């Protein structure tokens, strides 16, 4: 099984959050991926941070450990479905989060996140919730 890290989880890892790192040590690095959308968000985080040099170094080290998946046609198709389905229910999701979720669904990946409110309304999206109390969600 491959796991897609959401942006906030990546930031927590790069900041050395002990709980996140300990839980992720149970997964081989070759099973961890990030979306190109997440990489774009991380680049923005680095560019806007007060500690650019340190964060840029951490991002470089982090991206050496994970595969970065390009956003492709199946992900784009899933994105349209997700946005339309949520709109029909009167719900919304930020475009970048919908793109990450769409890519995970299209690839059959589990998203590792500590923010269920971002992804919890998306039908059939596989989630592994990492929060104050680590537990599994599906």
pLDDT, tens only, 89-138: 999 999 999 999 999 999 999 999 988 888 989 999 999 888 754 433 33
Protein fold of 3-129: Rossmann fold (3.40.50)
Query: Residue 58: its pLDDT value, please?
Result: 85
Average pLDDT, the chain: 87
CB burial of residue 36 (10 Å; 0-12, 13-18, 19+): middle
Report, as an integer, the average pLDDT of 43-54.
94
Helices (H), 32-136: 36-48, 52-63, 73-88, 95-107, 116-119
What count of other Cβ atoms lies within 10 Å of the Cβ of residue 131? Answer: 12
List, in order, residues 6 or more apart from 109 with CB less than 8 Å away.
Answer: 2, 3, 4, 33, 103, 126
């Amino acid at each position: 099984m491959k796991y897609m890290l959401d942006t906030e989880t990546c930031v927590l890892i790069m900041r050395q959050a002990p709980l996140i790192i300990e839980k992720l040590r149970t997964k081989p690095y070759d099973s961890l991926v990030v979306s190109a959308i997440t990489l774009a968000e991380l680049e923005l985080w680095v560019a806007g941070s007060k500690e650019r040099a340190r964060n840029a170094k951490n991002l470089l080290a982090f991206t050496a450990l994970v595969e970065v998946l390009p956003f492709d046609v199946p992900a784009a198709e899933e994105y349209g479905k997700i946005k339309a389905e949520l709109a029909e229910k009167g719900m919304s999701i930020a475009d970048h989060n919908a793109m990450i979720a769409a890519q995970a669904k299209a690839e059959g990946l589990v998203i590792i996140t500590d923010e269920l409110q971002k992804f919890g309304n998306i039908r059939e999206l596989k989630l592994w919730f990492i929060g104050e109390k680590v537990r599994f969600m599906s």
